[in-house]
Amino acid sequence: MKKIFYILTIFLFKFNIAYSLIEVDITRGNLDPLPIAVSPLHVDLQSDNYQDVKIKELGELISSVVEKNFRSTGLFNPLNKDAFVQKPDIAHLKPRFEDWSLITAQALVTGKLLIKDEKLKIEFRLWDVAANKEMIALAFTTTPSNWRRVAHIISDKIYERLTGETGYFDTRIIYVSETGPRTQRVKKLAIMDQDGENTKYLTLGNELVLTPRFNPTNQLVTYLSYFRNLPRVYLLDIETGIQEVVGNFPGMTFAQDFRLMEKK
């Protein structure tokens, strides 16, 4: 009886060995850009043709815009498309995460587009390759000619989801473009996307234009232009193209600007 008691006590001690939880502090990581795979968007076969938009290339174009945006940030490293194993249509349904992690991708962007009844519908998904799960999925509908804007909005959404900061890709820059020889400079008011693409000229270049300013709240631009050698301030709506004169200001040398008026 005593023996059994001893044995039991020995066993009790033996199984009582408990290890405290090991804690390891990780205070450093690498600062390499995040490897991201942007798969070309799958074009739905039922898509209609729309004017001069090349529907078959649109998927590739949108993904390359997104890729270019990411590369410009320095925070992401878009991987070479040649290394992609899975086809875009299957990847959009359910990616084989093993294949994507093989090429060291940590995040994956897939998408699909469809043009129906003169409307372009683009949907995309962002996948966490390591965790094998979807992080964000959104769909946008717009006119087909507006595809570049959608590509920028998609970039914004992905950027926000991965870094926590709001994206800045859906930004347009208004500027004065200068062409021609030094003695006969032609200055035109122009607008472009933040990546330098999609340039549109807003004036013809007959008159000198200066100091374009964006309204921070809507799509209005104000600029100074010389009409018959008299400085005039114009207000231009980019969406509609309607231009109106704010007034003649002879001898005006300072730049006009929008100011938010405080409500009293």
Partner 1 sequence: MTRSLIYSLSFHAVLVLLTILSLPFMIRQPVDLPPIISVELIQISDDTNIPFAPKARKVIEKVKEEEKRVVSEQAPPAAKAKEKPDRIPLPKEQDEKKKLIKKKQNPEEIKPEIRQASEFEKKEIIDTNQIAALIDKAKEESAKVEKSEKKLTQSSIKNSFASGLTLSEEDALRAQIFGCWTVPLGLPYDDDLLVRIKLELKQDGTISKSEILDHERMNRPGQKFYKILAESALRAVRICQPLRVPQTGYKKWKDIQLNFNPTEMLKG
- Residue 193 near residue 181, CB atoms below 8 Å: no
Residue 250 near partner 1 by CB under 8 A: no
Binding segment (CB under 8 A) for partner 1, from list 7-15, 24-32, 208-216, 231-239? 24-32
* Total residues belonging to the chain: 264
Give all strands (DSSP E) within 143-185, no chain letters. 172-179
Calpha distance 235→247 (Å, rounded): 10
Q: Which stretch binds partner 1 (CB under 8 A): 42-50, 80-88, 161-169, 173-181?
A: 161-169
Total residues contacting partner 1 (rule CB under 8 A)? Answer: 26
Closest approach of partner 1 to the CB of residue 14, in Å = 12
Q: Which is nearer to partner 1, 76 or 84 (CB)?
A: 76
The nearest distance, CB 130 to partner 1, in angstroms, is 4
Separation of CA 61 from chain center? 14
Write the interaction track for partner 1 spanning residues 111-150; mark x where CB under 8 A is met and - where it is not.
-----------------x-xx-------------------
Number of other residues whose CB lies within 10 A of the CB of residue 191: 19
Supply the minimum distance, in Å, between the C-beta of residue 77 and partner 1.
10
Tell me, rounded to whole angstroms, the distance of Cα 240 from its chain centroid. Answer: 25
Q: Which of residues 86-105 bind partner 1 (CB under 8 A)?
A: 101
Two structure tokens written together for 98? 């093993």
Nearest distance from C-beta of residue 95 to partner 1, angstroms: 15
Residue 22 or 260 with smaller CB distance to partner 1: 22
- Closer to partner 1 at the Cβ: 55 or 75? 75
Q: Which is nearer to partner 1, 113 or 162 (CB)?
A: 162
DSSP for 84-149, written as a single string: --S-HHHHHHS--HHHHHHTT-SEEEEEEEEEETTEEEEEEEEEETTTTEEEEEEEEEE-GGGHHH
Radius of gyration of the chain (CA): 29
* Residue of 4, 12, 31, 261 that binds partner 1 (CB under 8 A): 31
34 binds partner 1 (CB under 8 A): yes
Task: Give the C-alpha distances (Å, rounded to integers) separating 83 from 68, 76, 99, 101, 131.
Answer: 17, 17, 10, 11, 21
Contacts with partner 1, residue ranges (CB under 8 A) = 19-34, 75, 101, 106, 128, 130-131, 162-165
